[in-house]
Amino acid sequence: MMDLNELLSQLQSTQQTEATSRLSERNVIDLVNKLKQLGILGDELLYTINGKEYITTDQLKKEVSLALKQSGGRLALVELPALVGCDLLHCERQAAAVVAEGGGEVLEAQGELITVQYFDAIAGEINDLLQEAGQVSLSDLAVQYALNTELMASMLHSRMGGAIQELGLESAALGGSGGGSVVASIVDELVREGALAGSLKGGGVNWVPAVYSTAQRNAVRSFYEQNGWVGYDTAKRMGIPNASSYLRTAFPDGIPLETALVGPSLLSQVRETSSAAASTSSPAAHPAANNSKGGPAGAAAEKGQQAGGSSDDEDWAANAKRGGKGGKGGKSGGKAGKKGGGAGGAKAGKGAAAASGPGSGAGSKGHSIHGGPLPLTMADLEAQVLELRPDLEGVGTTGSTSGEAGGAAQALAALLLPAAVAAYEATLSAAFTTSVEEKRRAKEALAQALDAAYQRLCLYAVGVEEFALAPAESSPADGTVPAPAAASKGGGQGGEDGDEPATKPAKGSGKKAAAAAERAAAAKERRADKAQPTDAQTEGSSIQPGTQQQQHQQQLQQKGGGDKAAETVYAALVRQALRTSGAEAVDALCKWAQVEHDVGAMSDTPTHNQNTTNSNRAANSAAATAQGSSSGGRSSGGQVMDLVKSPPLSPAERGALLRSLPSDAAAALAAALEAMASASTIRDALEALSHAAEVLGLRLKAVDKKQERAVLAQLRAELLGALSSEHDPAAALALVVPLLFMRVTGKAVAVPGKALAAVLARCGSGSSNSGTRASAGSLSPEALSSVEAFHTQVVEHLVLMGGGGRGSTDESRRQASLAESLAQQLPAMKCLAGLGGE
């Protein structure tokens, strides 16, 4: 055991040793709070992210700087909290403090802390890259180092010559967004040094070599010197953008016109020519002499003459074409002068007059009467005056020589000349400036008319089947089935001829079978027509007296149920439909083709078969228009829309149209015309019409069920409208019967006079025999009998009116009583047809 003194000293030393400090977290937090409350620590003490540590702002700033160094000089602020364990807000504050205290050594950009050393390092890398590649895109560098382009550019430019060694074209090598300007500056420098000859245009984008500019100037000057004028279009084609100002600057002595710059030499030439023409006093021989004022208008006119003779002058050709498409075709000067001067020259003269002011109008007019057909020379005008007023011949002449001027006729011609020229030019202008819009409107209107007629014809095609299918029209006695009726049964039976026993099975569909049946019926009808007069005399709603007996016979035949009578009715209905709506449709198609193919030399577009050149056509058109020619003038000028409302084309006009159309179109249209005249069924005519329209470029849509109802309603409204204003019993009957048929069967037919009785009989039989459509209504026996009585009286009245009787007094009284009776029955008939309530 130890000595007592040693123990005492050990006790003393043990008590003097420091106790190990073991403070709990709670104690420490309490202590820190206490220190804060006492103001010893202040507010600079921050918590760490985990909440278990305190850190001062100074320490945080040091740690931020340390983290930036450890990361190589570039550190995103968002990475600081993870590195230093403090909130991002405190990190950002201390980062800002680091940047502020860095003295430019540290930058804060794009949410990152970047040191100058980092920039130096990447500048070195870029320098190595430049040495290897020779060119580095600034945008590529920006992407590679994830820096924005501006920062990258500023950094690199500040190190140019330092970290980035000087190269020959180091600025250009650093391409990118500023590359264009760099190139431009380099090129400018080279131009100043004389290494390059040329200039940069278009904001430094386009390089124009000096040789090109020289060649351009030489070409323009050469053209000007050779021709005495330069067109603005010509200069533009030579690559001069602002031709007008360029030419004015390049040739200050020239006279600027609307489309060209004319030199003084040409002007003097025109003046000389004018003087020579004036001295010979022969306007026709020297047309330029009528340019009384000379000046720019005369120069332009003379230019037109010359341009007609120079085949290589495309510029004037363009001008002449714009004026009337007349200046290009001629090879010799005189010929071109006649053709081009008549049309194109007039236009050019007008344009020049507009450009040079009112004072030059006379020159324009004077020019317009030279050359070409010469419709408005003074001599012609004087001759026409004398022709209209022969009494003026010799009046007012003072000299004995016939060539001496001063007569009253000549004075009158001189007085009329300006107005005549103005009218001529207006007509000429109208001939060439027919608006495309007007043409389009005309075509639209014609296409609509064609559609309406086509749809109505489709309706009639359905309506006539009602008669082809009617079993009542068949002849049960002879044991045969009518072809149409057989066809309507879906091909079960059918035949080429209605008289044949229906033993051949129809292979086609129902429609085809129906068409075949129609054709068969039509063939039979044609045979019957040889023996019977056609209903050509009964065209329209008027019933001619000569056909009444025939109609009566037909009625008797129908009453007897004869097969022949049924076929006759069917054929009559078909012919009536084709002669009304079919004719309208084909006429609209012809007019449409006339407008479309510009028959009459109206359009600017070339036609298929016209071998004449545009210039010839234009000249002919101009001449024809000016002379008031009626041939082909219907569709020219402002008369395009008149074509829509004009009466149907005459056979001669149709023939001319067919001759002027392309062969395929002409053939198709001719087929359609033939079909309308002689088709045995409506469907055949419809097919021919549709084919012709398709060849001409129109598509006719077949009428579906919905459209059929709409068209039917429209047709009914039209018939009712016509009926409401009709006071003639015969004409009213022709309207009442289709309306009654429409009411009973829901179908439409175009009823000729001789088929009225048959249609009425069908109305009396009730609904459609085909059973495909429910009848809209049926006629009561009383109503039917009243209509039939009305019909009988109308027939009788017409017979009496046509002199069917002997003209006795009794017949006159009978005629008067019939007229009175018909007039009394007419309102009832109208009411029965659906007008004003039923």
Partner 1 sequence: MAETIDKNTKERVGKIPLLTVNAGPRDKEKWEDRLKEELMALINYIRQNKEADMDWFTIEPKNNGLSWQGKCWYIHNLVKYEFDFRFDTPATYPAAAPEIELPELEGKTAKMYRGGKICLTIHFKPLWIRNSPRFGIAHALCLGLAPWLAAEVPYLVEEGAITPKV
State the nearest-atom distance from the C-beta of 34 to partner 1, in Å: 6
The backbone region for 260, taken as left when phi is positive above 0, alpha when psi lies in -120 to 50, beta otherwise, is beta
Coil vs helix vs strand at 203: coil
State the nearest-atom distance from the C-beta of 39 to partner 1, in Å: 16
> Given the complex with partner 1, which of 38 and 419 has the nearer CB atom?
38
State the nearest-atom distance from the C-beta of 38 to partner 1, in Å: 11
State the nearest-atom distance from the C-beta of 18 to partner 1, in Å: 8
State the nearest-atom distance from the C-beta of 15 to partner 1, in Å: 5
Q: What single DSSP character describes residue 647?
A: P
> Given the complex with partner 1, which of 4 and 531 has the nearer CB atom?
4
> Given the complex with partner 1, which of 20 and 631 has the nearer CB atom?
20
State the nearest-atom distance from the C-beta of 10 to partner 1, in Å: 6
Residues 33-92 that bind partner 1 (CB under 8 A): 34
Strands 112-115 and 74-76: antiparallel
> Given the complex with partner 1, which of 35 and 831 has the nearer CB atom?
35
Strands 45-47 and 54-56: antiparallel
Q: Token pair 């409506």 is at which residue?
A: 682
Adjacent-strand bridge partners of 230: 261
> What are 187's two structure tokens?
């090129």
3-state SS of 668-729 is HHHHHHHHHHHCCCHHHHHHHHHHHHHHHCCCCCCCCHHHHHHHHHHHHHHHHHHHHCCCCH
How far is 319 from 312, CA to CA, in rounded Å?
A: 14
Adjacent-strand bridge partners of 74: 114
> Given the complex with partner 1, which of 22 and 806 has the nearer CB atom?
22
Q: Which of 10, 226, 605, 627 binds partner 1 (CB under 8 A)?
A: 10
Cβ(617)–Cβ(606) under 8 Å?
no
Coil vs helix vs strand at 260: strand
How far is 280 from 288, CA to CA, in rounded Å?
A: 12
Q: Which stretch binds partner 1 (CB under 8 A): 2-10, 85-93, 261-269, 514-522?
A: 2-10
Question: What are the distances in angstroms from CA 827 to CA 729, 740, 833?
Answer: 10, 15, 10
> Given the complex with partner 1, which of 29 and 801 has the nearer CB atom?
29
> What are 710's two structure tokens?
């709409």
Residues 11-40 that bind partner 1 (CB under 8 A): 11-12, 14-15, 17-23, 30-31, 34
How far is 708 from 160, CA to CA, in rounded Å?
A: 85
How far is 784 from 750, CA to CA, in rounded Å?
A: 19
State the nearest-atom distance from the C-beta of 52 to partner 1, in Å: 20
Task: Give the chain's count of helices (H) and strands (E).
Answer: 37, 10
Adjacent-strand bridge partners of 115: 106
> Given the complex with partner 1, which of 18 and 437 has the nearer CB atom?
18
State the nearest-atom distance from the C-beta of 95 to partner 1, in Å: 37
How far is 28 from 101, CA to CA, in rounded Å?
A: 34
Give kind and range of the element (H or E) at residue 758: helix 756-764
Q: Token pair 């005249």 is at which residue?
A: 677
Asked if 477 interacts with partner 1 (CB under 8 A), we say no
Q: Which stretch binds partner 1 (CB under 8 A): 10-18, 445-453, 486-494, 542-550?
A: 10-18
Q: Which stretch binds partner 1 (CB under 8 A): 5-13, 381-389, 702-710, 786-794?
A: 5-13
State the nearest-atom distance from the C-beta of 64 to partner 1, in Å: 34
State the nearest-atom distance from the C-beta of 28 to partner 1, in Å: 11
> Given the complex with partner 1, which of 3 and 132 has the nearer CB atom?
3
Binding-site size, partner 1 (CB under 8 A): 20
Binding mask 567-606 for partner 1 (x = CB under 8 A): ----------------------------------------
State the nearest-atom distance from the C-beta of 22 to partner 1, in Å: 4
> Given the complex with partner 1, which of 41 and 392 has the nearer CB atom?
41
Q: Which stretch binds partner 1 (CB under 8 A): 4-12, 364-372, 460-468, 502-510?
A: 4-12
Question: What are the distances in angstroms from CA 83 to CA 59, 90, 115, 236, 503?
Answer: 13, 13, 18, 70, 105
Q: Which residues bind partner 1 (CB under 8 A)?
A: 1-2, 4, 7-8, 10-12, 14-15, 17-23, 30-31, 34
